[in-house]
Structure 1
Amino acid sequence: MRKLYLGYISSFQGLSREVWWLSLITLINRAGTMVIPFLSLYLTQKLHFTLSDVGWIMSSFGLGSVVGSWLGGKFTDKIGYYRVMALSLVLSAFCFIGLQFLQSFWGICFGIFVVMLAADMFRPAVFVALSAYSKPQNKTRSVTLIRLAINLGFSAGPAIGGLIITKLSYNGLFWVDGITCLLAGVLLLNVLNPKKARVLDAAKNDSPESVYSDIPYWVFFVAMVLFGFIFLQYFSTIPIFYKELFRLTESEIGILLGLNGLLIFVFEMPLVKYFEEKFLTPLSSVLIGFLLTIISFMVLNMTSWIGILIIGMALMSFGEMLVFPFSNAFALNRAKRGNQGEYLALYSIAFSVSHIFGHNSGLQLIDALGFEFTWYVMIFLGVLGSLLVVYLRKTITRTVEEKNAIVGQ
């Protein structure tokens, strides 16, 4: 037991002070994002929209995320990650609070678009900050620490959010989201002074390549879109699956979603360290994560036993633990070829594109063909994404071998 404890603690050692501050800021911010996993329920149960309507609203969510990520990358390269993060957090605070006052279909579409535009400018900026503040050998663990903060907040958020809905109303969630974004912005302005920061890896490139001409990175982009497509079902269609087929309450759904964050908090950092020590390439780890996520959907169609929901959530959680940190590490390393903001914006946009099509398609499929058929579609998309990762891994390995052969001559 002591050996396990010491191994867990050692997985956090060697990370810079700035990375820890970024993690705390992210934790405060994400602790309030309890609106997101309940958004589909809020729209169907309180505002009485149809599943088809909710699907189109969630596409606005994804479109705002795409535009926000793109702008965040552009602004990061122009004015720096610090200003972009601060701007994103403060704007998000007021946008979340204002969202609760919108009631019409088009009003909510516009409101969701603006909220996500403001919120997702943060993503490429924080990745560039991580790249600057992390030693090259610590980048995957630095990303993992940020994700740990996200999931620690996200594990508490849905559980608390479910209680707030049960005891009070949905409106309180918007206030909490707004206030926590504002608190995160205030903390950023007070503790992460860019003039005093120790930049450990500036990764400057005097002749940067355009991300748009990097073909292997586009293959990676499509694979991440597909993973995001199936992963996001756990936060839009699957809560409805829990509600309609298994009759779970909002509080029980919140606890089940919170299990995802709890598992990640306990296991992700040691798991990432273990995979790094096995000297697997980032793409090999991503592939394993893909396979675990595919299996998580397979088990949902195997039985009506309620315990399968926990097994499915656990499988998806472990798949997520491998895909996100190692795909992020691949993107950070690849970004050294060009403008970092541009590269990391495209990485963020992959998941934003998933938001545009994933929620909507999942809801439309369920509405037309039911849950079982929808989960089979997700399995197919997961297999397709896995094949792209295999192809990308072989392509990059071949390119590296050819370069080494030229150098050897």
Structure 2
Amino acid sequence: MRTMRSWFRETTGGLPATFWYLWSGTLINRLGSFVLVFLAIYLTQERGFSASQAGLVIGLWGVGGAVGTTAGGTLADRWGRRPTLLTAHLGAAAMMLGLGLARDIWAVALGALLLGMFAEAARPAFGAMMIDVVPVQDRLRAFSLNYWAINLGFACAAILAGFAAQANYLLLFVVDAGTMVITALIIFTRVPETRHTREAKGLTAAAAAPRGALRTILSDRIYLGFVALNLLAALVYLQHISMLPIAMGDDGLSPATYGSVIALNGVLIVVGQLFVPRLIRGRSRSHVLALAAVAMGAGFGLTAFAGTVWLYGLTVLIWTIGEMLNSPSNSTLIAELSPADLRGRYQGVFSLSWQIAGASAPILGGLVREHIGNAALWLGCAAIGVVTAVAHLVSGPARERRADALRRAGDAMAPVGSARPSVPQPVEATAA
């Protein structure tokens, strides 16, 4: 019991109150995140859209998300974190209700586009605020706790939404909008503005925006190759939101069943997060990422042969293992491949790969499924997983050499005798 209390204090202790208000908002928001999980089922079963039309609508959500992420990051720095978060959440709540009431395809498509824009605009402001209020030494566990809240909320929402959908689909949109409003109220009443002006920091505009930043990123083939591999993995992974519910519906399984099956993903991550980092510590990152790609490809590939609840559950278990292996290795690589003065822009480019996948995965999945067949879609996902795994093995050593070079450059620039934050040591053999 004493060991458990000690672990709990080490995990949660010492974090500022503002963080916990943000954490609470995340959990509440995710507990009501019904619509995206069931949007494909709603569009095909309730609205009568085809799989390709449903994919187009979900893809427009991703297009709006790409715009929102870019605009939200700019507004968070220029306007402030708090007003950006409030505008994004209240705007998303209004768009959520509008999408639930829309009937024509053009109205549904426009609603999805605007909803994606408002909902995703909150992400960069939220991340910036977390960094603002949490000390450097506590950020790893703070973001881990937030990730835990996201997956706990997602697991509960997937189950609850399945039953809510059987009662009334409009209820999904109303509850989702309500949780956004509650989150906005928490921010309005409890969360202060955390942005510091450049003048307060003594920074100039030139220091905040290094010249040639875009040229540097576009010429960084090693990093762009890493981003491209993440895009491939995301194209496979995001099929669980768009095409998986449609496939399960074709097999006669109810929305509640889909909710229970997909909830396994969140439950497994909540539990597995306690063990996976320790299991992969000291292992080759390229090998871990390759294994993750194979596991995700295999899990989605086996969906071609699934037709019962337990088989679908098994496929979710397999690709979730891949997701858990992929996430921590990705996080450390992003940090180590980003030059210190361009770290925010490098993070933005990586995030954009998810938005591109969010826009294209449902459209491509719907077209493949409708014109080639369900089996072709899932076996294609398996093939992409194998290609991604091979690419990670081939490109891994070059990535580690680049990370090591950036680490040495950072050491050389540090003043003699100055205290520097510890830098994670490479876990990949950097053989020539």
Amino acid at match of 2:178: I
Q: Structure 1 residues 171 and 388 mapped into 2: Cα distance closer, same or farther (>3 Å)?
A: same
Q: Deviations over 1:2-23 (max 9, x none)?
A: 7995797477245623443322
- Look up the match of 1:36: 36
Task: Say which of 348, 366, 371 aligns to 1:368.
Answer: 371
Query: Secondary structure, in 3 states, of the residue corresponding to 1:22?
Result: helix
Query: Secondary structure, in 3 states, of the residue corresponding to 1:100?
Result: helix
Q: How far is 1:111 from its partner? A: 0.8
- Look up the match of 1:263: 268
Q: Aligned partners of 2:296, 2:116: CA distance in 1, in Å?
A: 26
Q: Structure 1 residues 207 and 369 mapped into 2: Cα distance closer, same or farther (>3 Å)?
A: closer
Q: Aligned partners of 1:336, 1:363: CA distance in 2, in Å?
A: 39
- Look up the match of 2:90: 90
Q: Deviations over 1:356-392 (max 9, x none)?
A: 1101111111112222211111122223333444455
Q: Structure 1 residues 351 and 389 mapped into 2: Cα distance closer, same or farther (>3 Å)?
A: same
Q: Aligned partners of 1:283, 1:25: CA distance in 2, in Å?
A: 35
Task: Say which of 387, 402, 424 aligns to 1:399.
Answer: 402
- Look up the match of 1:228: 234
Between 1 and 2, higher relative CO (CA 8 Å, sep ≥ 6) is seen in 1
Query: Secondary structure, in 3 states, of the residue corresponding to 2:152?
Result: helix
1:9-408 alignment, distance < 5 Å: 9=8, 12-13=11-12, 16-17=15-16, 18-167=18-167, 169-194=168-193, 208=210, 210=213, 213-214=216-217, 215=220, 216-245=222-251, 247-268=252-273, 270-271=274-275, 273-275=277-279, 278-280=281-283, 285-301=288-304, 306-331=309-334, 337-338=340-341, 341-402=344-405
Q: How far is 1:297 from its partner? A: 2.1
Q: Deviations over 1:337-374 (max 9, x none)?
A: 34555443333321111111101111111112222211
Contact 2:64 2:116 in 1 (8 A): yes
Q: Aligned partners of 2:137, 2:344: CA distance in 1, in Å?
A: 20
Amino acid at match of 2:317: A
Contact 1:55 1:361 in 2 (8 A): yes
Q: Structure 1 residues 299 and 52 mapped into 2: Cα distance closer, same or farther (>3 Å)?
A: closer
Contact 2:60 2:109 in 1 (8 A): yes
Q: Aligned partners of 1:308, 1:5: CA distance in 2, in Å?
A: 36
Q: How far is 1:274 from its partner? A: 1.7
Q: How far is 1:67 from its partner? A: 0.8
Q: Which moved more, 1:314-323 or 1:40-49?
A: 314-323
Contact 1:219 1:388 in 2 (8 A): no
Q: Aligned partners of 1:211, 1:138: CA distance in 2, in Å?
A: 31
Q: Aligned partners of 1:403, 1:57: CA distance in 2, in Å?
A: 42
Query: Secondary structure, in 3 states, of the residue corresponding to 2:101?
Result: coil
Amino acid at match of 2:320: S
Query: Secondary structure, in 3 states, of the residue corresponding to 1:254?
Result: helix
Q: Aligned partners of 2:47, 2:215: CA distance in 1, in Å?
A: 41
Give unmatched runs, 5+ long, in structure 1. none
Q: Structure 1 residues 341 and 128 mapped into 2: Cα distance closer, same or farther (>3 Å)?
A: farther
Q: How far is 1:95 from its partner? A: 1.1
Q: How far is 1:77 from its partner? A: 3.1
Q: Structure 1 residues 290 and 239 mapped into 2: Cα distance closer, same or farther (>3 Å)?
A: same
Identical-residue share of aligned pairs (%): 21
Amino acid at match of 2:265: N
The structure whose Rg is larger is: 2
Query: Secondary structure, in 3 states, of the residue corresponding to 1:374?
Result: helix
Q: Which moved more, 1:286-295 or 1:188-197?
A: 188-197
Q: How far is 1:85 from its partner? A: 2.2
Query: Secondary structure, in 3 states, of the residue corresponding to 1:111?
Result: helix
Amino acid at match of 1:20: W
Q: CA RMSD in A?
A: 3.1
Q: Deviations over 1:88-137 (max 9, x none)?
A: 11211111111112111111111100000000011222223333344445
Q: Deviations over 1:279-308 (max 9, x none)?
A: 457666544433321221243345656422
Q: Structure 1 residues 31 and 335 mapped into 2: Cα distance closer, same or farther (>3 Å)?
A: farther
Q: Deviations over 1:208-258 (max 9, x none)?
A: 46255222332232122212111111111111122213x211111111112
Q: How far is 1:39 from its partner? A: 0.5
Q: Which moved more, 1:112-121 or 1:102-111?
A: 102-111
Q: Aligned partners of 2:286, 2:9: CA distance in 1, in Å?
A: 24
Q: Aligned partners of 2:294, 2:373: CA distance in 1, in Å?
A: 24
Q: Structure 1 residues 91 and 367 mapped into 2: Cα distance closer, same or farther (>3 Å)?
A: same
Q: Structure 1 residues 259 and 403 mapped into 2: Cα distance closer, same or farther (>3 Å)?
A: closer
Q: Structure 1 residues 83 and 212 mapped into 2: Cα distance closer, same or farther (>3 Å)?
A: farther
Q: Aligned partners of 1:9, 1:293: CA distance in 2, in Å?
A: 32
The size of the alignment, in residue pairs, is: 398
Q: Structure 1 residues 125 and 346 mapped into 2: Cα distance closer, same or farther (>3 Å)?
A: farther
